[in-house]
Structure 1
Amino acid sequence: MRRLLSALAVTSCLVTGFPALTWAQSLPGFTLFSGVKAENQLPFRLDFGGQANGWDRYILRIPAQRMKLAVGQFAITYPDYYKGTFDQKKIEVRVKGKAVPLSEVKWDKEGKLINIFPQEPVPAGSAVEVVLSNVKNPSFGGVYYFNCQVLSPGDVPLLRYMGTWILSIN
């Protein structure tokens, strides 16, 4: 009877622990003292748990209500202390779950900038996912602010701030 109760206790801890682990790496959740207003925090998901020095896929979302204008360029900046790597060939933009054809993706390692150019502008009011696959997370964990700016076609060439993804690498 004692072994049965022990096994039951361990199993219940494992079963309740897995959803918590999965949930911890999706969306911004509750953030204290981030310096970023709540309305500027963008939702995201780290598909493989955000483990330091591990491979991952970042799904960075921009809600439809933030996309007030059509977008001809996405510019994602990240801090200089982020030492991860990106695979330019495995970056995509999705609208309604479908990949948008891209004309070019430029990763400026020194400038800490990823520029993504869709072939056709992404329509205003679209919910967008920027998917970064084959990402090598930094060797050391930390909190990293990825900022999103966009450029509308025909617009004055000034990037407009869309929001910030606050990523936590364990």
Structure 2
Amino acid sequence: MRRLLSAVAVTSFLLTGFPVITWAQSLPGLTLFSGVKSENQLPFRLDFGGQTNSWDRYILRIPEKKMKLAVAQFAITYPNYYKGSFDTKKVEVKVRGKKVALSEVKWDKEGRVLEIFPEEPVPAGNKVELVLSNVQNPAFGGTFYFNCQVLSPGDVPLLRYLGTWIISVN
């Protein structure tokens, strides 16, 4: 009986002693001194942990409270020191969990903007996810501010700022 209890104790110690692997990184969490007001920080998830020089999937979320107008175009801008790459064929827009048909996705590398055009405008008041699959994370880590801007249908052709995803690559 004593050996059995010792074996159980050692096994439970070994199992709880190993670090837990984090499969996804997500925010918003506690961000200090970011320069972005908390109400402008947008939630996101990196499905494969945001490791440098590796493939990842970015799920960039826009809460329904931010979607005050219908959206005909999403524009994601990022800083010039972000040296990752995007696969425009692997971009999806999901509204309340359902895929939306896209007419075009453009990546302007020099302008540092990823433009996403749904076939039909995304209705106001919906939770939206912009899913970027096959993203090649940059070789060097850092914190990158991805800004979300939108264009409403029939609106003056000026993009409106919705918020910022503060993404860390380790």
How does the TM-score come out when normalised to structure 2? 0.92
Shift of 1:4: 6.0
Shift of 1:163: 0.2
SS of residue in 2 equivalent to 1:8: helix
Q: Deviation per CA, 1:23-74, whole angstroms, max 9, x where unpaired?
A: 6x11221101100000000000000111101100000000001000000000
Q: Which residue of 2 aligns with 1:85?
A: 85
Percent of pairs with identical residues: 69
**What are the residue-to-residue correspondences of 1:2-151 with 2, within 5 Å?**
5-14=9-18, 17-18=20-21, 21-22=22-23, 25-151=25-151
Shift of 1:5: 4.7
Letter in 2 for 1:17: V
Counterparts of 1:106 and 1:121 in 2: how far apart (Å)?
17
How does the TM-score come out when normalised to structure 1? 0.92
Q: Which residue of 2 aligns with 1:160?
A: 160
Counterparts of 1:152 and 1:59 in 2: how far apart (Å)?
22
Larger radius of gyration: 2
SS of residue in 1 equivalent to 2:16: helix
SS of residue in 2 equivalent to 1:17: coil
SS of residue in 1 equivalent to 2:131: strand
Counterparts of 1:40 and 1:88 in 2: how far apart (Å)?
26
Q: How many residues matched?
A: 166
CA root-mean-square deviation: 1.6
Gaps of 5+ in 1: none
SS of residue in 2 equivalent to 1:115: strand
